[in-house]
Homo-oligomer: A and B are copies of this chain.
Amino acid sequence: MSEVYAARRARLRERCHAGGSAAALVTRPANVRYLAGASPCGAVLLLARHEDILLCQSPPEDRPHEGRLDEALRVQVLSPSSGGDPAVAAAGLAQSQGADSLAVEEHHLTVARHRALASVAPRLRLTDLGNAVEQLRVVKDEEEISLLRIGAEIADQALGELLESILVGRTERHLALELERRLVDHGADGPAFPTSVATGPNAGRRGHRPTDRRVEEGDFLSVCLGASYRGYRCELGRTFVIGTSPADWQIQLYDLVFTAQRAGREALAPGVACRDVDRAARQVLEAAGFGEHLHPLTGHGVGLENDEDPQLSPSAMGKLDACVPVTIEPGVHIPGRGGVRIDDTLVVRPEADGGPELLTITTKELLAL
């Protein structure tokens, strides 16, 4: 694996040099992990003139769930008594090695921390690395996709088991905790994000945080969960009806969201504009009169974080590439009544390879539980 990380760092270094910076400092944990294999607590990565150095406050532990640190990387542990910030130490190091500029992640460093860097290395010109690492992360290699695929299998299993149990009378919070336990049972590092379980009038709300409301007969039940597997985070969302016979409005609403979600999935292809994928799903809901309260995003990239680029929204710029995993997750929520969300993780693939690869395979038929 070491060559993978070295290759990623080499690509970042090229971008930095093209941008006029001799050295770069990566502080955002997911970016450190992408370039170094792991991101021990508080660690920062310095791409210096002649070598790459991971600086951290304590010796990194070997924790396979949280990634394996690239062995080829030099690790420098700050003395515990220094109480120091590894980013500040990195800036001092870069200056002492004769660098004249250092690109930093201005979207991650706080103003106070940035000032501490400038103060310890006054001869260093601090420039903005911007989202350079995030952009490298958008297109995944097959190893990364296979980790997402395993995570999706785990999420499918956890959800499938929950559906076999009795749901009526249990609270949203307990169902969410049980799903998270099952994710870990099946080998996840943990949940990819806080598991959302929404019942009755809460159903269909994006990012709903579980309450003490209990599942009742006739409810919509919507669930959104994901497994983090070796750091990679998939997402799976489904909506069910509790009881034997869904009401007509439930069937109609479900069919509508299903149609929108399918349109979004089918729009996925390399070269397609992100906003066109969004529009494919959104216009179905708009045409049915639900345009006003829709969430700004129909979907987003996933990977080492749950909410990566690209964004699938009306204002999104850019086009999809092959090997970009995204969610397609339209939903409708009717205040006071509830609603429907359906959420899959898929990988953009060319038609010659069979089109978009669906990672989350739990059925999207409307199940009455």
- A residues sitting closer than 8 Å to B (CB atoms) are 41, 63, 65-66, 80-81, 83, 104, 106-115, 128, 173-174, 177, 180-181, 184, 207, 209, 211, 295-296, 315
Q: Can you list 14 pairs linking A and B with CB atoms under 8 Å apart?
A: A41-B207, A80-B296, A104-B111, A106-B110, A106-B112, A106-B115, A107-B110, A107-B111, A109-B110, A110-B110, A111-B114, A174-B184, A177-B180, A181-B181
Q: How many copies does the complex hold?
A: 2
Query: Known pairs A81-B296, A107-B113. 6 more at Cβ < 8 A?
Result: A41-B207, A63-B209, A80-B295, A106-B115, A107-B110, A110-B110
| Inter-subunit contact A63/B211 (CB<8 Å) | yes
Q: Which 3 A-B pairs have the closest CB atoms?
A: A106-B111, A107-B112, A106-B112
Distance A228 CA – B99 CA, assembled complex (angstroms): 46
Asked if residues B180 and A184 are in contact (CB atoms below 8 Å), the reply is no
A297 to chain B, nearest CB (A): 10
In angstroms, how far is the closest chain B Cβ from the Cβ of A331? 14
Q: Nearest chain B CB to A197's CB is how many angstroms away?
A: 13
Chain B nearest CB: distance from A212 CB in Å? 8
Residues on the B chain within 8 Å of A114, using CB:
111
Find A111's partner among B110, B184, B296, B315 (CB 8 Å cutoff).
B110
**Chain B residues whose CB sits within 8 angstroms of the CB of A107 once the complex forms:** 110-113
Docked Cα-Cα span, A63 to B128, in Å, equals 39
With A110-B107, A174-B184 as given contacts, are A83 and B315 in contact (CB-CB < 8 Å)? yes
CA distance A113 to B111 in the complex (A): 9
Residues on B with beta carbons closer than 8 Å to the beta carbon of A80 = 295-296
Which chain B residues lie closer than 8 Å to A104 at the CB level? 111
Q: How far is the CB of A147 from chain B (nearest CB, A)?
A: 18
Q: CA A211 – CA B184 in complex, angstroms?
A: 11
Q: How distant is A67 from chain B, measured CB to nearest CB, in Å?
A: 13
List of B residues within 8 angstroms of A180 by Cβ:
177
Cα separation A104 to B111 with both chains bound (whole Å): 10
Cα distance A174–B183 when bound, in Å?
A: 11
**Is the pair A177, B173 in contact by a Cβ cutoff of 8 Å?**
no
What CA separation (Å) do A295 and B112 show in the bound complex? 25
